[in-house]
């Protein structure tokens, strides 16, 4: 039985005050659901991780980073390592978010190194995959997702895979207000689970959590969560509004 998982990606938003206020609002409103029946995490900007972790210390809401570097330490100016993230209380780390792939230019090879370094450093990576609109229109969704998963998970053994959550986020649905229909999302989630089955066997495929992300809102969360292979939601814009994020958590209970 896969426990539902709702994660909020705050991206490059909030400041120290509004970030803590948002965390406190989410903690106060999700006492019942979070930790018991739904895993809940928020991913604030690096510089507010410690303040948000402190604000959530007495709640069961976990904190994740939006990215990390693939090396454990050294001369990598501006980068943040897995041990630094652990040190400030992170449990999760997004790896390969579409904005990192398509705005910053991260490759599958680098993302694979980040996923591996996250696990080696004691973090739980959320590996994001998803196709561009042009790739969907060219019927290449399955090919793109296959490449991103085969390369993103390369050389990861069974034990390490159990630490991974996958997020399917079609790029055309992120921040656009256009959500994949439940059928479109379920079709890709089913494809991903079967692919993981071919790579790692049926048991790990049945256990791995696959989140959907892309313009999730209170109004579409329950319908998406009703799909057999959608185990949770990765939420961007709506996670910045406490009441909306709480309603989405509620839809996953």
Give catalytic residues, as residue numbers.
97, 169
* Total of residues contacting ligand PEP (CB under 6 A): 14
Q: For residue 229, give the nearest of 164, 175, 167, 152 by alpha carbon.
A: 167
- Say whether residue 175 binds ligand PEP (CB under 6 A): yes
| Residue tagged 């207000």 (tokens) | 177
CB 209 within 8 A of CB 2: yes
Residue whose CB is less far from ligand PEP, 84 or 128: 128
Q: Which stretch binds ligand PEP (CB under 6 A): 115-123, 132-140, 232-240, 242-250?
A: 232-240
Q: Which of 214, 230, 231, 244 binds ligand PEP (CB under 6 A)?
A: 214
Burial (CB count within 10 angstroms: exposed 0-12, middle 13-18, buried 19+), residue 233? buried
Q: Which of 188, 216, 224, 230 binds ligand PEP (CB under 6 A)?
A: 216
Residue whose CB is less far from ligand PEP, 56 or 235: 235
Residue 112: half-sphere exposure toward Cβ, Cα within 13 Å? 14
- Return the H-helix or E-strand segment holding 40: strand 39-43
* E runs forming strands in 66-181: 92-95, 124-129, 165-168
Q: For residue 164, give the nearest of 249, 248, 231, 80 by alpha carbon.
A: 231
Q: For residue 165, give the nearest of 1, 12, 7, 23 by alpha carbon.
A: 7
237-251 burial by CB neighbour count: b if 16+ within 10 A, else e? bbbbbbebbbbbbbb
Q: Which of 4, 5, 6, 9 binds ligand PEP (CB under 6 A)?
A: 9
Residue whose CB is less far from ligand PEP, 135 or 244: 244
- Say whether residue 8 binds ligand PEP (CB under 6 A): no
Q: In the complex, which residue's CB is closest to ligand PEP?
A: 236
- Say whether residue 42 binds ligand PEP (CB under 6 A): no
- Say whether residue 215 binds ligand PEP (CB under 6 A): yes
- Say whether residue 44 binds ligand PEP (CB under 6 A): no
Q: Which stretch binds ligand PEP (CB under 6 A): 22-30, 111-119, 190-198, 211-219?
A: 211-219
The residues of the shown chain that bind ligand PEP, judged by CB under 6 A, are 9, 11, 169, 174-175, 213-216, 234-238
């Amino acid at each position: 039985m896969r426990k539902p998982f709702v994660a909020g990606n705050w991206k490059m938003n909030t400041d120290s005050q509004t970030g803590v206020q948002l965390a406190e609002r989410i903690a106060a409103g999700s006492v019942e659901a979070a930790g018991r029946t739904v895993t809940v995490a928020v991913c604030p900007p690096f510089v507010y991780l410690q303040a948000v972790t402190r604000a959530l210390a007495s709640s069961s809401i976990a904190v994740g980073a939006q990215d990390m570097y693939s090396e454990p330490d050294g001369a990598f100016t501006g980068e943040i390592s897995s041990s630094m993230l652990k040190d400030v209380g992170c449990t999760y780390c997004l790896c390969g978010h579409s904005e990192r792939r398509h705005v910053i230019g991260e490759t599958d090879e680098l993302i694979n190194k980040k996923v591996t370094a996250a696990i080696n450093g004691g973090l739980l990576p959320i590996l994001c995959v998803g196709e561009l609109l042009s790739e969907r229109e060219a019927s290449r969704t399955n090919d793109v997702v296959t490449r991103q998963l085969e390369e993103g998970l390369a050389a990861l053994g069974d034990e390490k895979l159990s630490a991974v959550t996958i997020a399917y986020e079609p790029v055309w649905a992120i921040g656009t207000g256009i959500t994949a229909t439940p059928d479109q999302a379920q079709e890709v989630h089913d494809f991903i689970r079967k692919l993981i089955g071919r790579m790692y066997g049926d048991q790990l495929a049945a256990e791995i959590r696959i989140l959907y992300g892309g313009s999730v809102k209170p109004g579409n969360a329950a319908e998406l969560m009703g799909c057999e292979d959608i185990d949770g939601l990765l939420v961007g814009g709506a996670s910045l509004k406490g009441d909306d994020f709480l309603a989405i958590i509620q839809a996953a209970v």
